[in-house]
Amino acid sequence: MNPVFEIATTAIESVLCLSAVAEMAGKRYGGRKHFALLFGLVMGMTIVVTFFNTLASFSFVTVVVAIIYIVFTSKFLSRGHCLIRSTACMITLFFLHSFDYIIGFSTALSIADSPSIYHGYDAMMHNSTTRVIYTLINKSLQTVLFLLVRPYLHHVAVLPRRLLKTLLLIMTAAYIIMSSLIQMIVTDSLYVMQIAVIFSWVFIMIGMLSCIFIVILFSRYQEEKNKSSLSLLANQLMEKNYQGLAASQLTLSKQLHDFGNHLKTLEALTAENPKAQQYISQLLSATYKNTPRCRSGNDVIDAIVNCKAAEAEEKKIAFTFSVHLTSAIYIPSIDLCAVLSNQLDNALEASQKIAKEQERYVKVVIEQKGNFLSFHVENRTDRDPFDSTGSLPSTKTDPALVHGLGIQNITETVEKHLGTLENSYHDHVFISFAVMQNTV
């Protein structure tokens, strides 16, 4: 076969190996610097592998040298430590060589003219045309595979050391066994070949499924853990904010009350000054005195409702509320914030999208019934918020916001308190109804 073609094949495999390891271990650089380093390391790996192939083609020596080269040199491409680079290297080699086997086995079967695929392998290794076709198909599919899985390779970096060690052992063992079985396939013994084929397929499946299972399962677990941590942090910040807001509102109410008394005193002192009395009367009749405020007895609920009422007024949304608390609230303030503030945020966001201001409204009803506390938040919306699967996708366009976190936050919180969340839509009206058990 043309040596130039073989060198090009080795270069392509070097690019795939080093790129995959860099993606899994976390790229150190970006842009031109990354590609310049990658080009230099690929050239070096191509020279090293080609040299050892001339000494002993397809020997384990070449593979061991390639592994050492990838693990060592990938340090210049990635931020990952040695363990993650080693694991990434074995995952990459296992999948690439599994493709080599699968495509090679299929090609050998297609061109074999006897019950044994040995002749097919022999023809594929020595017939230049057949080998070129096999190599082109193989490397093309490997490249496509890399491009398809590339967005998910970074999940390997979040695996803890314990799982990385486990995955490294599995991949190394599966790779060694698979390589040994492949060597047994190219034999004239039909029985040995059949056994080798069966077991090689088994180990390929075990290796692939183990890798996919560990990476995907843990990644999803870590993602959910991160979301829960983010939700908890957001709830804590909201609780702190509304606690401070409640204290500020209380202080402001006292100040307004004292201010009114001062004005009344001034009104009496300026009885002989009509202009001063007229001005003071205007101040006493200011609209802030008549602004409806929530005074349920629960500082956090009051702060949330009053804050959102002010926000609704600013956005020209009609806001009404009814709060009836008959006994003490035992649900922690952080959880009250998680439910009520998210419900109201969603309602205000949906209402603001309605073009006609006179159609915008948000209605809040908070009630205690027995040992349960319920939050009924109703608002008008311009469209059905549910998608075809019955889910509520996020409508936020800001990439800095966590999509779907509000609904998840409410759901997790009400379930923690043995409650439920029911969302419904009918005739441009959306209702979020959350119930939580209010017990000590």
Residue 3's Cβ-count burial label (10 Å; 0-12, 13-18, 19+) is: exposed
Which CATH number does the domain housing residue 318 bear? 3.30.565.10
Do the beta carbons of residue 78 and residue 26 sit within 8 Å? yes
Whether 358 is covered by a domain: the verdict is yes
**What is the pLDDT, as a whole number, of residue 318?**
93
**Confidence at 228, pLDDT banded by 50, 70, 90:** low
Q: Which two tokens stand for residue 196?
A: 């080798």
Beta bridge partners of 367: 324, 374
Q: What percentage of the chain exceeds 70 in pLDDT?
A: 66
Q: Are residues 312 and 186 in the same domain?
A: no
Q: Are residues 187 and 310 in the same domain?
A: no
Q: Are residues 423 and 306 in the same domain?
A: yes
Give 294-310 pLDDT, tens digit per residue: 788 887 888 788 888 88
Give 251-293 pLDDT, tens digit per residue: 555 555 556 665 666 666 566 677 676 766 766 665 444 455 7
Among candidate residues 198, 231, 264, the one where a domain is terminated? 231
Sign of CA dihedral 14, 20, 25, 26: positive
- CB within 8 Å of 308: residues ≥ 6 apart: 319, 341, 344, 345, 348, 362
Whether 272 is covered by a domain: the verdict is no
Which whole-number Å values give the CA distances from 190 to 100, 107, 180, in the listed order? 21, 18, 17
Q: Which of 2-16, 177-191, 221-235, 372-386 has the lowest mean pLDDT?
A: 221-235
Report the C-alpha gap between 343 and 301 in whole angstroms: 13
Q: Is the per-residue pLDDT at 349 higher than 60?
A: yes
Q: Which amino acid, residue 407? A: I
Lookup result for tokens 């205000």: 348
**What is the pLDDT, as a whole number, of residue 200?**
61
**Confidence at 236, pLDDT banded by 50, 70, 90:** low
Q: Are residues 227 and 117 in the same domain?
A: yes
Residue range(s) defining the domain that contains residue 183:
3-231
Q: Is the per-residue pLDDT at 330 higher than 70?
A: yes
Give 142-161 pLDDT, tens digit per residue: 899 889 888 888 888 878 88
Q: Are residues 341 and 208 in the same domain?
A: no
**What is the pLDDT, as a whole number, of residue 136?**
86
Whether 253 is covered by a domain: the verdict is no
The structural domain count of the chain equals 2
**What is the pLDDT, as a whole number, of residue 429?**
92
Report the C-alpha gap between 368 and 305 in whole angstroms: 16
- DSSP class of residue 381 equals -
Among candidate residues 179, 208, 231, the one where a domain is terminated? 231
Q: Are residues 196 and 298 in the same domain?
A: no
Residue 426, SS3 per DSSP: strand
pTM exceeds cut of 0.75: no
Whether 121 is covered by a domain: the verdict is yes
H-helix or E-strand spanning residue 364: strand 361-369
More confident residue, 213 or 100: 100
Lookup result for tokens 């100040």: 255
Give 65-112 pLDDT, tens digit per residue: 999 999 999 999 998 899 999 999 998 988 888 887 777 777 766 665
Whether 252 is covered by a domain: the verdict is no
Lookup result for tokens 């976390």: 26
**What is the pLDDT, as a whole number, of residue 241?**
62
Mean pLDDT, the chain, as a whole number? 77
More confident residue, 218 or 236: 218
Whether 73 is covered by a domain: the verdict is yes
Would you mind telling me the total number of residues written for the chain in this entry?
Answer: 440
Among candidate residues 206, 231, 256, the one where a domain is terminated? 231
Q: Are residues 299 and 219 in the same domain?
A: no
Give 16-66 pLDDT, tens digit per residue: 999 999 999 989 888 889 999 999 999 999 999 888 877 755 567 888 899
**What is the pLDDT, as a whole number, of residue 303?**
79
| Backbone dihedral angles phi then psi of residue 222, each to the nearest 5 degrees | -65, -40
Beta bridge partners of 78: 27
Beta bridge partners of 32: none
Report the C-alpha gap between 296 and 348 in whole angstroms: 22
Give 371-425 pLDDT, tens digit per residue: 899 999 999 998 888 887 767 766 654 433 333 457 887 888 899 888 999 999 9
Whether 264 is covered by a domain: the verdict is no
Q: Are residues 323 and 206 in the same domain?
A: no
Q: Which two tokens stand for residue 415?
A: 């379930």
Q: Are residues 197 and 107 in the same domain?
A: yes
Q: Are residues 116 and 37 in the same domain?
A: yes
Q: Are residues 339 and 217 in the same domain?
A: no
Q: Are residues 308 and 223 in the same domain?
A: no
Whether 279 is covered by a domain: the verdict is no
Q: Which of 207-211, 227-231, 426-430 has the lowest mean pLDDT?
A: 227-231
Q: What percentage of the chain exceeds 90 in pLDDT?
A: 23
